[in-house]
Amino acid sequence: MEPSAEGPLLRTPLTDAFGRPLRDLRVSVTDRCNFRCVYCMPKEVFGPDYAFLPRAEILTFEEIARLTAVFARLGVRKIRLTGGEPLLRRDLPTLVRMVAAVPGIEDVALTTNGALLTRLAEPLAEAGLRRVTVSLDALDDETFARMNGVGFPVARVLAGIEAAERAGLRPIKVNAVIRRGLNEHAVLDLARRFRGTGHVVRFIEYMDVGTANGWRLDDVVPAAEILAQLDRAFGLEPIPPEAPGEVATRYRYRDGAGEVGVIASVTRPFCRGCTRARVSTDGKLFTCLFASAGFDLRRLLREGATDDEIEAAIRAVWSGRRDRYSELRSRATQRRRKVEMFYIGG
Ligand code: SAM
Ligand code: SF4
Ligand code: SF4
């Protein structure tokens, strides 16, 4: 059957070479960041002279909204704005409003380091943002400063989380990357702080995204170790996934104090359920976080392609997709050149 032009629900379902549908879209709205996290943009590599993308190369709001509409025609219902630090993109609430208005888009979410959330939570929620994930890797300033690379204080991120709460962006997910020798003690601190609040802390295994962070397997704290710590301290039991393709494995505290999760992309890869497409700051389509190259959607947009032509291009890329990097991870795959997380959108 030919795909119909009448609406997203009537089109031929799009699946990749392993039968995985395209469900979620992540867009990196800027490659810049006000932090220099050791695991993402270490300050030794991303110093004052680092050349970020010039403005003309970055997708405009209109281009992002147009791509979102084409992705929605292909079955995408959820969009997450990320980066870099998305709150550094000027007028971000305007973009939220534009993508929230796209027919078919049911959920607009954001991942942020929280530094500017106190000022922006309210306008973002008003514009149609539904959910926010705030990254926070420790609760003591000394460790957090070592993680974020710029000495940013914990209290200001916590104030951002409170502002998001007040703006109705609940429940909040709090992401913490745990790196061996740096912040293992933050596991119990963060769990204790957010138990009973309704917010969900998710502990992320340190991943070999990009090449700048100098990743070593020895620096990964396996999810099993994190879970054992939590279980000893509070008692945990597993709970089923909320939605298909969910990357976090969910647990609840036995005493009813809420939920916690781990994202174990190194020790328990979840490529089989991976339904995410990513669009980089300059409009390249990536079908895996660990890819080396993407498909240039910006060129199509700027050369006057029609929506149908852009849709056909995305279909072709997705239907040929065979990515399963984490399942195949080895010394050889790690040495491959890979794009950086702040550019592709974490
Ligand atoms: N700047 C925002 C933030 O930090 O939340 C959004 C972009 S950041 C790239 C998205 C997420 O990726 C953050 O939660 C961050 O902790 C995570 N991340 C970055 N580098 C990582 C790595 N090497 N391993 C695991 N997670 C990583
Ligand atoms: Fe910036 Fe987020 Fe990367 Fe940290 S993880 S350097 S906050 S983009
Ligand atoms: Fe998806 Fe690639 Fe991650 Fe596997 S490694 S879950 S295919 S992004």
Percent of the chain with pLDDT over 90: 83
Strand order in the sheet with 284-286: 236-239, 249-253, 259-263, 200-205, 173-178, 131-135, 107-112, 78-82, 24-28, 276-279, 284-286, 295-296
Region class of 82: left (phi > 0), else alpha (psi between -120 and 50), else beta: beta
User: What are residue 331's phi and psi, to 5 degrees?
Assistant: -55, -40
**Using a 6 Å cutoff on CB, does residue 341 contact ligand 1?**
yes
The pTM for the full model equals: 0.94
Which residues approach ligand 2 with their CB closer than 6 A?
Answer: 33, 35-37, 40-41, 83-85, 113, 135, 342
The pLDDT score that the predictor gives to residue 331 is 64
**Using a 6 Å cutoff on CB, does residue 265 contact ligand 1?**
no
pLDDT at 338 over 50: yes
User: What are residue 229's phi and psi, to 5 degrees?
Assistant: -60, -45
**Greater pLDDT, 59 or 12:** 59
Q: In the chain, where does DSSP find H-type helix?
A: 61-73, 92-100, 117-127, 141-148, 154-166, 186-194, 223-234, 297-302, 307-319, 325-328, 331-335, 341-344
CA distances 298 to 283, 284, 292, 320, Å, are: 5, 7, 18, 20
Of the candidate ranges 128-137, 187-196, 266-275, the one whose mean pLDDT is the lowest? 266-275
Mean pLDDT of 30-48: 96
Mean pLDDT taken over the chain:
93
The pLDDT score that the predictor gives to residue 302 is 98
Give the angle subtended at the CA of 268 by the CAs of 274 and 14, to the nearest 5°: 10
pLDDT at 1 over 50: no
- Which atom of ligand 2 is nearest to 33's Cα? 1
Of the pLDDT bands very low, low, confident and very high (cuts 50, 70, 90), residue 330 is: low
Of the pLDDT bands very low, low, confident and very high (cuts 50, 70, 90), residue 13 is: confident
Mean pLDDT of 135-160: 98
The pLDDT score that the predictor gives to residue 244 is 76
Which CATH fold would you assign to the domain 24-344? Answer: TIM Barrel (3.20.20)
Mean pLDDT of 51-56: 96
Measure the CA–CA gap between 287 and 22, rounded to whole angstroms. 10
Which ligand is nearest the CA of 111, by number? 1
pLDDT at 313 over 90: yes
pLDDT at 3 over 90: no
Measure the CA–CA gap between 118 and 159, rounded to whole angstroms. 6
Mean pLDDT of 126-149: 98
CA distances 211 to 21, 26, 41, 335, Å, are: 29, 21, 10, 8
The pLDDT score that the predictor gives to residue 185 is 97
Mean pLDDT of 135-163: 98
